[in-house]
Amino acid sequence: MRAAGGWPLILARVFGLERERPLLRWLLTFVIVMGAAALLAVSLTTRFTFDIGPVFFWTVVTLVAVALPVRLPGGMVAHLTTAPLVAAVFDTTLPNPFAVACIALVGTIELRDLRREIPWYGTLYNKSTYVLAAVAAWASYAGTSPLVRPGDPLGIVAQIAIVGGAFFFVDTLLALTLASVRTQTPVSRVFALSVRNIFVGLVSQVPLGWLMAIIAIEVGHWAALLFMIPLLLARYSFSKYTETRELFFGSVSALSQAIDAKDGFTRGHADRVSRIAAAIAREMGLPEKQIEQIELAGLLHDIGKIGVEDRILMKPSRLEADEQELMRRHPIYGASILEPSAALRPLVPLVLHHHERYDGSGYPEGLKGDEIPLGSRIIIVADAYEAMTSDRIYRKAIGHDRAMDQLTKYKDVQFDPTVVRAIDQLLSRRGPAAFESSDLPAINYETLAELRRRLARAPVSRDAHAG
């Protein structure tokens, strides 16, 4: 990998960043330098007053807000700091913009910063993000203030939207970019995972911040503390979102493991199909919501095998014609297993049609070409590729190149040519490592036979007095 040269490298050395990837190093250095420059600029342009009370107040409120983080999927952490920082921008008793920049710098110090749980340049990046967002918000406030007449509701609402928008945009964009570069995940993916579902909750902190400032000015700063109650409610809803999502993905993984545990020959197959299908879908530029559905359907595509008799499912040799006929019912069983669940119902068509063929000779309905749902066409290719590139008890894996030859040979017959082109592009660009990343929890694969053996060895009453 080529190292970035010139002043960024010198700065990277100063910051001790030279071991990070070039792109991450660039981003960290750039934002930290911009944050420091913004702080210096506002310190030179502010006329200082000596009333430290309001500065102290907002710093403490921000410290309380930052002490209550919510970890979101996708490597991001949500905070309630937007409300007090926006309040500090609108608080006319502060010697702004220097005061708001200082509150953003000192008020956002977290316990993990003091405990050195993240590298110190990570801490500096986060602080720079807050400083830049606060300064951008203040600049929007200063720029729009001459245009807003006192008591003009439309003008005030527009100003709140512009100031809040500036804060939110800079803060969220920089946080998303770092999470994206650090985890090597597209920004759209991080956004879909972490921000999209709690977007309204995050944005609603902006008018709340404005209200806090007005109450602080009109009634007294103490009164703004009452707004901690709606802030804590917002935090509760953020954490509920994360919990619900984890519960849902955990249940889907458990279902997927159930079939994997039973069918010892294809251990981990569903998990890998899911990752491959998601990577192809992303390569094809599908929206994140659809990619997530395809990922889940990939995990559950063979769930209907639970309904296939063990003597057929576990038969180590080739199936007879009548056995094959029974095996071919598994997509229908799968669809009927998923149908009753409202959350899993969108996956039903994808699971039902994962054995159709592009020329219409597949099962269960013999759909042809575009009649087959796109998600199924992607899972069909992922399923075939995974089966060819992993060992089975009755044959060895054939390797990536030969697997691609087979996919190319049977495009238009068995596979959708667009999907084959997408997997080909992906593999030639990134190699088999293209399928490594997934935000699904890692699965511990243990076949039912292994589980039985393990439990047979363990004493039956082992957990009786455990707790």
- The CA-based diameter of the chain, rounded to the nearest angstrom, is 89
Burial 112-130 (b: 16+ CB within 10 A, else e): ebeeeeeeebebbbbbbbb
- Tokens encoding 182: 């650090």
Neighbours of 2 (CB within 10 A): 5
Supply the minimum distance, in Å, between the C-beta of residue 422 and Fe ion: 21
DSSP string, 358-371: TTS--SSS---GGG
Using an 8 Å Cβ cutoff, are 202 and 82 in contact?
yes
| Residue whose beta carbon is closest to Fe ion | 302
**Is the Cα torsion angle 344, 350, 355, 360 positive or negative in sign?**
positive
Least gap, CB of 354 to Fe ion (angstroms): 6
CB of 309 to Fe ion, least distance (A): 16
Q: Which is nearer to Fe ion, 125 or 333 (CB)?
A: 333
The two tokens of residue 298 are 């990939």
Q: Kindly tell me which of 393 and 464 has the beta carbon lying closer to Fe ion.
A: 393
For residue 406, the minimal CB distance to Fe ion (Å) is 17
Number of residues binding to Fe ion, judged by CB under 5 A: 1
For the bound state, the minimum distance from the C-beta of residue 306 to Fe ion, rounded and expressed in Å, comes to: 12
Q: Give the residue with the Cβ less far from Fe ion, 221 or 267.
A: 267
Rounded least distance, CB 302 to Fe ion, Å: 4
**Residue 446: φ, ψ to 5°:** -145, 125
Q: Which is nearer to Fe ion, 176 or 380 (CB)?
A: 380
C-alpha–C-alpha distance, residues 295 and 249, integer Å: 11
> Closer CB to Fe ion, residue 91 or residue 302?
302
Residues 417-436 that bind Fe ion (CB under 5 A): none
Task: Provide the mask over 106-145, with x wherever binding to Fe ion is found by CB under 5 A and - wherever it is not.
Answer: ----------------------------------------
Where do we find the tokens 């949500």?
78
- Rounded to whole angstroms, the Cα distance separating 94 from 91 reads 6
The rounded distance, in Å, linking the Cα atoms of 286 and 431 is: 21
Which residue number, 302 or 416, has a Cβ lying nearer to Fe ion? 302
Q: Which is nearer to Fe ion, 302 or 386 (CB)?
A: 302
The whole-angstrom separation of Cα 414 and Cα 317 is: 24
Smallest gap from residue 424 Cβ to Fe ion (A): 23
Site for Fe ion in 269-328 (CB under 5 A): 302
CB 330 to Fe ion: min, Å: 6
Residues 362, 347, 406, 393: is their CA dihedral positive or negative?
A: negative
Nearer to Fe ion, 380 or 423 (CB): 380
Contact characters 50-69, Fe ion, x per CB under 5 A: --------------------
Write out the residues near Fe ion by the rule CB under 5 A: 302
